[in-house]
Amino acid sequence: MSEVVANTTENLTTHKEVGPWKEAWHNFKKSKAAVVGAGIVVFFIILAIFGSWIAPQGVNEQNLSERLMAPSAKHWFGTDDFGRDIFSRVVYGARVSLWVGFSSVIGSVIVGSILGIVAGYYGRWVDTIISRLFDILLAFPSILLAISIVAVLGPSLQNALIAIAIINVPNFGRLIRSKVLSIKQEEYIMSAKAIGMNDFRILFRHILPNSITPVIVQGTLAIASAIIEAAGLGFLGLGAQAPTPEWGKMLSDARVYLVNAPWTMIFPGLAIMLTVLGFNLMGDGLRDALDPKMKN
């Protein structure tokens, strides 16, 4: 009997020593798809960081005598209509696309989290105004709303980033609001109010840290959506402008050569597909690892 009690105590002690983030990492590694997705994301991040050393030629270096050359040992992905090395432009394009993806999502998370926390915590007319604002933004198809915003601000990569951030604010705001509505009824929040803790400390010391898990998952998936949206705006001529090596803009410039030089579209398209796939797989893995309902 004493041995059973000792073993039970040892198991409980061992279980307590495993923190939630360490347990989440352990669960994340169990998913092969999530690990593959994380590997793809890390690969493109490395391309973005070390692109200057990886790219064999300058991003805008032109050689008209080699225009529309097929993939070869000299030009791995071939050349475009200006004789620029497509491999170099795809590598540099990773920097542009990831910057837009991460920056727009970070902006959406910050603004959406603040609005969602305020709406969920204070309720009443504050919640009504903010929730109706979210409903208005969600009433429009996201890509059409982004096109409208860029059309007003003017076509550029920075304005495309702002538009993508705006259209994603309601997603994070509503997610945080729903979490706050449940968390603010917990006993430790009631205790914090009872001892006179001010609202700012309650919101950002207790409520926000306990609401951040679904935001991490949603943010990972939102980066994939932001990359597609940035590519879509670039393809329409509303995002990155020439000669910026943005993948969507590269597809737009190469569409007239689809039959004669298909490689000019294939490789930028593959880069978009693989990056989005990586973030989606990683986001699904994070959801399974961080969501208590998904644990056995």
CATH number of 163's domain? 1.10.3720.10
Residue 12's pLDDT is 47
Residue 4's pLDDT is 46
Q: What is the token pair recorded at 90?
A: 């795809």
pLDDT bracket for residue 293 (50, 70, 90): low
In a domain, 142, yes or no: yes
In a domain, 221, yes or no: yes
In a domain, 87, yes or no: no
Q: Is the pLDDT of residue 66 over 90?
A: no
The answer to whether the beta carbons of residues 29 and 263 sit under 8 Å apart is no
In a domain, 272, yes or no: yes
Alpha-carbon distances, residue 123 vs 120, 130, 160, 180 (angstroms): 6, 10, 33, 10
In a domain, 90, yes or no: no
Q: Is the pLDDT of residue 1 over 50?
A: no
When pLDDT is averaged across residues 114-119 and rounded to a whole number, the result is 89
Residue 19's pLDDT is 63
Q: Is the pLDDT of residue 250 over 60?
A: yes
Whole-number Å distance between alpha carbons of 234 and 246: 7
Distant-in-sequence, close-in-space partners of 173: CB < 8 Å, separation ≥ 6:
111, 112, 113, 115, 116, 119, 130, 134
Q: Which domain holds residue 238?
A: 103-294
Q: To the nearest whole percent, how much of the chain has pLDDT over 90?
A: 38
Residue 179's pLDDT is 85
In a domain, 147, yes or no: yes
Residue 56's pLDDT is 81
Residue 74's pLDDT is 85
> Structurally, how many domains does the chain consist of?
1
In a domain, 58, yes or no: no
When pLDDT is averaged across residues 35-40 and rounded to a whole number, the result is 91
In a domain, 263, yes or no: yes
